[in-house]
């Protein structure tokens, strides 16, 4: 790809959703997805690769989005890596104005599409022609370069209490945990970020979206908040501990961004790095 080709490309928008978004009442999160994807007549693709019950999940979103007036809605059903290598399917994804990755299991999602034509098409749609790529629950975790694949939320942030795996790579240096307040996952996210302090943690509540706009701004919308965990300046004894032990963590930095929060790329202060990690991630097809 030449430098001129790169300059011609423009990023789209990301919606990182904490799961259980409203599908029956005001539907603020889904309404925003439609708007960012280009409106009710834009082609929207619902990817159910993370789910064990893809037809049921597809039916749920088909009803919710059709009720909002969407006219060009398709189910991208991917149940194997072989299916994810289909060229026609990849072209369908790359041409979409909006791509919505449903919930389920993020490890299943990446087992099926990580490193395939489908995965590359999602990145190309976002980085190339400005598509809106949304992920909810497991789909939200899978958007990032690093994702949490397992780990209990109960109890203290033990060493190796949760594990990381590779995600789709649309966001670098941020790891997402979803259903955050509802499932009391602060200790799980804290444990991961404390052991991997080059990452910042973003815990996203249900029916809440962290939106990364193409105009180089971010905002929080919905009915909850986003919790940011920053352990880059932490003093700890992690190196001396074994799996299952609880570390001493001093100087943890925590930010709470309620719905309605909005920040731009020129912001200064303790949240600036988080904003730039979201806005400046390098996405290659």
Catalytic sites, residue numbers: 137, 179, 206
Question: Cα–Cα distance between 55 and 58 in angstroms, integer?
Answer: 5
Question: Cα–Cα distance between 100 and 109 in angstroms, integer?
Answer: 13
The DSSP letter of residue 252 is -
Q: Are 80 and 88 in contact (CB under 8 A)?
A: no
Which of these, 93, 166, 105, lies nearest to 139 by C-alpha position?
105
Q: Are 159 and 134 in contact (CB under 8 A)?
A: no
Phi-psi map region of 244: left, alpha, beta (phi>0 left; psi -120 to 50 alpha): left
Q: Are 76 and 47 in contact (CB under 8 A)?
A: yes
Burial of 16 (0-12, 13-18, 19+ CB in 10 A): buried
């Amino acid at each position: 790809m030449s430098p001129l080709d790169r300059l011609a490309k423009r990023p789209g928008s990301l919606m990182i959703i904490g799961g259980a978004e409203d599908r029956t009442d005001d539907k603020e999160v889904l309404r925003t997805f439609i708007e960012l994807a280009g409106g009710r007549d834009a082609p929207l693709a619902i990817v159910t690769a993370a789910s064990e019950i893809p037809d049921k999940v597809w039916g749920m979103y088909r009803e919710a989005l059709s009720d909002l007036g969407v006219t060009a809605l398709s189910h991208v059903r991917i149940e194997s890596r072989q299916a994810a290598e289909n060229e026609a399917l990849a072209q369908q994804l790359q041409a979409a104005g909006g791509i919505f990755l449903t919930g389920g299991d993020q490890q299943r999602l990446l087992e099926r599409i990580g490193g395939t034509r489908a995965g590359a098409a999602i990145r190309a749609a976002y980085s190339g022609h400005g598509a809106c790529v949304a992920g909810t629950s497991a789909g939200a975790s899978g958007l990032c370069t690093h994702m949490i694949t397992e780990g209990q939320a109960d109890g203290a942030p033990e060493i190796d209490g949760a594990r990381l795996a590779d995600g789709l790579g649309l966001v670098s240096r941020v790891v997402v945990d979803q259903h955050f307040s509802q499932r009391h996952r602060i200790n799980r996210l804290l444990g991961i970020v404390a052991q991997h302090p080059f990452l910042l943690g973003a815990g996203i509540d249900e029916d809440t979206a962290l939106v990364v706009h193409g105009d180089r701004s971010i905002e929080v919308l919905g009915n909850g908040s986003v919790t940011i965990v920053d352990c880059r300046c932490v003093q700890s004894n992690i190196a001396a501990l074994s799996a299952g032990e609880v570390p001493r963590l001093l100087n943890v930095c925590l930010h709470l961004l309620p719905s309605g929060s909005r920040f731009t790329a020129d912001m200064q202060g303790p949240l600036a790095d988080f904003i730039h990690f979201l806005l400046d991630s390098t996405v290659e097809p």
